[in-house]
Amino acid sequence: MPELVTIDIQDHVAHVRLNRAEKMNALSWGMFDAIIAAGKSVAANKDIRAVVLSGEGRGFCAGLDLENFAGGGLDGDFFGEGRGGFWPNYYQQPAYVWKAVPVPVICALHGVAYGGGLQIAMGADIRLAQPNTKLSVMEIKWGLIPDMSASQTLRDLVRLDVAKELTFTGRVVEAEEALALGLVTRLEDDPVAAALEMARDIASRSPDAIALGKYLLDNAWHGDETEGLRLEEKLQGRIIAKGNQMEAVMSAMEGREASFAQRTINSFDDIKEL
């Protein structure tokens, strides 16, 4: 049986692919486990400086595989078997795990990104979409609310009234409208190629500055003004005049390609303790 999620690492870039093409990468229990494991794996690899997340086959991800969930999950024991009571819980982790990866995650979308598939895409830092991509906050179709971390990610992309309209109706949004609304970053005829090119560019920068930049923006964007300014100061103090920062300066002054060491940030938990 092929792996449900594959990881290919080249030149400090990890390409993570959802690999259940025959089901349009619909989310079974196995897919949940494999996506969570992939996110944790790339987060722990200090040689990785950028991640591209894509889907094999005709679409990025069609959402929940109801055949798999009908026998366990969409019932009164939804949070059984250790799936709830902690956050992000088991159902939220396939989307929210990408927020904890201390490098940028670029999601390449094509075909469809429905329901849980869209929530996984929203967990990434950047979304590049093929012009024919269709997106939907589809949970209302099944009488559900979006519960794979959309409360924390959709708010960063669209206005509150737009988020409510998409959540209440579950309507399918074409790529051009998704771009206008802010659901996707930009449109690309070949989003995987464009995402890999962007990832390689990011991987050529100081990995410490990239990691702390992601943490700063994710944590200061909705926070208190003074706390945000304090966080800027604290994070800058961690990297200024250190090895990778000095290499960025010297390589620019000498007109050569930078040679950065591994990032010094193991995980964002290290930063919280500063």
Render pLDDT for 185-221 as a digit per residue (tens, 0 to 9): 999 999 999 999 999 999 999 999 999 999 999 999 9
267 shares a domain with 142: no
143 shares a domain with 39: yes
Domain-ending residue, one of 143, 171, 202? 202
230 shares a domain with 198: no
Contact call for residues 175 and 132 (beta carbons, < 8 A) = yes
Element (H, E) at 16: strand 13-18
160 shares a domain with 244: no
Cβ neighbour number for residue 132 with a 10 Å cutoff: 13
> Six-digit token pair at 16?
């993570």
> Six-digit token pair at 254?
């000498």
Model pTM score: 0.93
Number of separate domains in the chain: 2
On the question of pLDDT at 94 being above 80, the answer is yes
> Domain containing 225 — which CATH number?
1.10.12.10
On the question of pLDDT at 80 being above 80, the answer is no
Q: What is the CA radius of gyration of the chain?
A: 19
Where does residue 158 fall: left (phi above 0), alpha (psi -120 to 50 degrees), or beta otherwise?
beta
Render pLDDT for 15-52 as a digit per residue (tens, 0 to 9): 999 999 999 999 999 999 999 999 999 999 999 999 99
On the question of pLDDT at 84 being above 90, the answer is no
* Angstrom distance (rounded) from CA 179 to CA 12: 29
Domain-ending residue, one of 169, 202, 235? 202
129 shares a domain with 246: no
Each residue of 211-248: b (16+ CB within 10 Å) or e? bbebbbebbbeeeeeeebeebeeebeeebeeeebbeeb
Residue 91: per-residue pLDDT: 94
Residue 73: per-residue pLDDT: 52
Band (pLDDT 50/70/90 cuts) for residue 72 is: low
- Mean pLDDT check: name the lowest of 79-83, 159-163, 248-252: 79-83
211 shares a domain with 170: no
Domain-ending residue, one of 178, 202, 226? 202
Strand 13-18 and strand 105-109: the pairing is unpaired
Please give the residue range of the domain that contains residue 243. 206-272
Render pLDDT for 222-257 as a digit per residue (tens, 0 to 9): 889 999 999 999 999 999 999 999 999 999 999 999
245 shares a domain with 137: no
